[in-house]
Amino acid sequence: MSIVIKHIWRNIKEKKLMSALIILSLAISGALLFVALSIADVLDTVADSEFQSVTTVFLLIFVVTSFMSVFVVFSSFKYVMALRVKTLGTLRSIGADKKRCGNLLLLESVVYGLISAVFAAAAGIVLLLILGKALSGGTAALVISPTYILITVLFCLLLSPICAYLPVRASEKYSVKELILQTHRIKEKKRLPVLLVGLALTAIGVLLVLINALKYEEWAVYCSLFVSLAGFVLCVGPLVHYFMALLGKVFSNNFTVRNMRENRSHNTIAVLLAIAVAVVFMVNSANAILIGATDKSFALYNYDIHISTKTNDAIYSAAEVAQVGGVSGITAADGIYYQSEADAGGHIPVMNLYGMSLSKMNAYFNLTTEEEITAQDAKTILLSRDYLEREKLAKGDTITVGNAEFEIAGIIKEMFNSGNVGVLSEGDFEELYGVSRYTLIAAKSDIPDAARNALRAEGFQTAATVADMLARIKSINADLFTTVNYIIVLSTTAGVFGVLNNLLIAFASRKRERALLRSIGMSKRQSAKTILVEALITGLTGGSLGLVGGLLLTAVIPAVFLVFEFPVKSVPLSPAAITLCIICSAAICLLASLISLISNSKLNVIQTLREEIL
């Protein structure tokens, strides 16, 4: 084996904990990808338009969380490089050129990539199996795909050197002397410009989300969301620094607090925590909205059996409706015109446009108007309050639906979160869409299951009981939320590894300082206290900054949902979630600092001081 390879291998072996943490954070990123890919396949099979928004949100969550896990891997590598600085200097001093040193570091990262690829594939498969057990079966079964395993392996192999690349390039700009004497980090970073750029990006991103959402450009919303996220990530670093500086000013008589802002690893941890908290918080809000909305979506139907095609084709004749009415067990049946996403000129589409008489509406739907209407005139439309408020329309205004103008004659009471419903008279609907057959047959029955079977026997294969539909949707929902939460847990784990990693480095890089302080009389207890104070400050800073970011991201969620014609009036903010975010990040830091505390209690003062001199 070449000496260089031997050196790399020994680096990995000797710094077991550190290598393990890097490999684990890489592997978790890979496993996350594997699980997400496999889940996306399953989600694809849930074709109903009602779930489009859920799957998109899932995608969004995945993008955001992978953003974070990649950041964790990246920051780990930044510190590995920092630890290698002296070795790099030594190699350069005996004649290795920059390229060679760079290659050496990249090779090391490839080794991490290789090892982690194996773990990622294995962990991914295990996680998928566990997830499969947790799902209620509403969605299709999860399948372990060899293609995705391959993608995961390639991902780990590539992610590792890619994350290592930037720190490697950064190390190349220093002179050999700076590397050897480790004076390369004395230069102050430029923070203010970064902060300003970050703030500007966030503002622009948020603004664009709001504007684009109104225009229904899905990809544009994603891009702007990404911009605002990137802006936030840029801001966090400088913000943490300034916040620590402020703390230092306030508690200027406390040595530990005063020095926090110079404490790079702790600041990185705070940054990590802030991003993680923001993401978790946002995802949580999105989840809450969806759960609230889907639970209520079936409150609309006041009938028991639903007959329609998957693509809502207008195919049912009056004779067929009569046939349904004659089936045993059916007490009433009627045909109803329906159009989804009806074009409304300059306004957002009407998601659910019905063509039915008032008597049908009262009989089959839980739709009532705010002021009682006895008859619907021609060329008038009834619209839900949510829709009108959102589009700044009022009773008496006119609106263009399809190619005809309608006067808004009544307001349908809001009955669930995503109320976007319109009702036309049957005559108007027939004229507008040129149809004479119904889109759906609604039927009532006291024995829905038996009636459904009878209907199927008569050739109405799509007949389904509303209760079944609701159960199915509930089960799909449950699965979707299980998966979303699963992804959250995974990415949080990645975040925790990032925190552990950095705390470890923080301790290692200041081992000598601790030994020195101990040698001049600082007790183990005092030393432990400083570790805890640092962890606590870091956790609280990261937690509260993350909360600010999370609230900001939450503010744009309604806009994102809007793109999927899923109007959200308000985002539920739970004080419990807010408190939990802060407490959790402090707790994570304190827990993670246990490792440092153990190392601290075992610190051999003489040995440490001697090692550093030799």
Partner 1 sequence: MIKAQSIFKTFTIGGESVNVLNDINIEINDGEFVSVTGASGSGKSTLLYLLGALDAPTSGEIIVDGTHLSKMNDKQTSEYRRKRVGFVFQFYNLIQNLTVEENIVLPVVLDGKKAKGYAAKSDELIALVGLENVRKQKGALLSGGQQQRVAIARALINDPHIILADEPIGNLDSVKSAEIMKLLQKINREKGVTIVQVTHSRESVGYGTREIRLQDGKVV
Binding residues (CB under 8 A) for partner 1: these are 2-4, 6-7, 10-11, 14, 86-87, 89-100, 175-178, 180, 611, 613-614
Give, in order, the Cα–Cα distances in Å from 139 to each of 47, 476, 482: 10, 6, 11
- Which CB, 245 or 532, lies closer to partner 1? 245
- Which CB, 100 or 472, lies closer to partner 1? 100
- Which CB, 173 or 310, lies closer to partner 1? 173
| DSSP assignment letter at 370 | S
And the tokens for 139? 């969605």
Max intra-chain CA distance, the chain? 98
The Cα angle at residue 310 between residues 305 and 315, in degrees rounded to 5: 80
For the CB of residue 76, give the shortest distance to partner 1 in the complex, in Å: 20
- 12: amino acid identity, one letter: I
- Cα–Cα distance between 221 and 206 in angstroms, integer? 9
- Cα–Cα distance between 195 and 535 in angstroms, integer? 24
- Which CB, 11 or 52, lies closer to partner 1? 11
Place of tokens 């802060």: 582
Pairing state of beta strands 464-465 and 330-344? unpaired
Closest CA to 81 of 190, 230, 182: 182
End-to-end CA distance of the chain: 28
For the CB of residue 196, give the shortest distance to partner 1 in the complex, in Å: 22
For the CB of residue 514, give the shortest distance to partner 1 in the complex, in Å: 20
For the CB of residue 22, give the shortest distance to partner 1 in the complex, in Å: 17
For the CB of residue 7, give the shortest distance to partner 1 in the complex, in Å: 6
- Which CB, 99 or 215, lies closer to partner 1? 99
DSSP H/E element including 576: helix 575-602
For the CB of residue 598, give the shortest distance to partner 1 in the complex, in Å: 23
Closest CA to 91 of 187, 164, 8, 185: 8
For the CB of residue 177, give the shortest distance to partner 1 in the complex, in Å: 4
- Which CB, 176 or 522, lies closer to partner 1? 176
Cβ–Cβ under 8 Å, residues 257 and 248: yes
For the CB of residue 93, give the shortest distance to partner 1 in the complex, in Å: 5
And the tokens for 350? 């009407």
- Which CB, 177 or 413, lies closer to partner 1? 177
Cβ–Cβ under 8 Å, residues 25 and 501: yes
For the CB of residue 42, give the shortest distance to partner 1 in the complex, in Å: 47
Give, in order, the Cα–Cα distances in Å from 502 to each of 63, 258, 596: 24, 20, 11
- Which CB, 413 or 610, lies closer to partner 1? 610
SS3 assignment for 430-466: HHHHCCCCECEEEEEECCHHHHHHHHHHCCCCCCEEH
- Cα–Cα distance between 306 and 528 in angstroms, integer? 67
- Which CB, 50 or 178, lies closer to partner 1? 178
E-strand spans in 531-583? none
- Which CB, 7 or 390, lies closer to partner 1? 7
Q: Is 351 helix (H, G, I), strand (E, B) or coil?
A: strand
- Cα–Cα distance between 444 and 325 in angstroms, integer? 9
Count the neighbouring beta carbons within 10 Å of the beta carbon of residue 70.
Answer: 18
For the CB of residue 241, give the shortest distance to partner 1 in the complex, in Å: 18
- Cα–Cα distance between 516 and 70 in angstroms, integer? 36
Contacts of 533 (CB under 8 A, 6+ apart): 254, 256, 257
For the CB of residue 12, give the shortest distance to partner 1 in the complex, in Å: 10
For the CB of residue 95, give the shortest distance to partner 1 in the complex, in Å: 2
For the CB of residue 2, give the shortest distance to partner 1 in the complex, in Å: 7
- Cα–Cα distance between 223 and 201 in angstroms, integer? 12
- Which CB, 8 or 289, lies closer to partner 1? 8
- Which CB, 192 or 614, lies closer to partner 1? 614
- Which CB, 169 or 177, lies closer to partner 1? 177
- Which CB, 187 or 525, lies closer to partner 1? 187
For the CB of residue 97, give the shortest distance to partner 1 in the complex, in Å: 3
- Cα–Cα distance between 29 and 280 in angstroms, integer? 16
- Which CB, 92 or 266, lies closer to partner 1? 92
For the CB of residue 170, give the shortest distance to partner 1 in the complex, in Å: 16
> Over the range 229-261, which residues count as b (16 or more CB within 10 Å of their CB) and which as e?
bbbbbbbbbbbbbebbeebbeeeeeeebbbebb
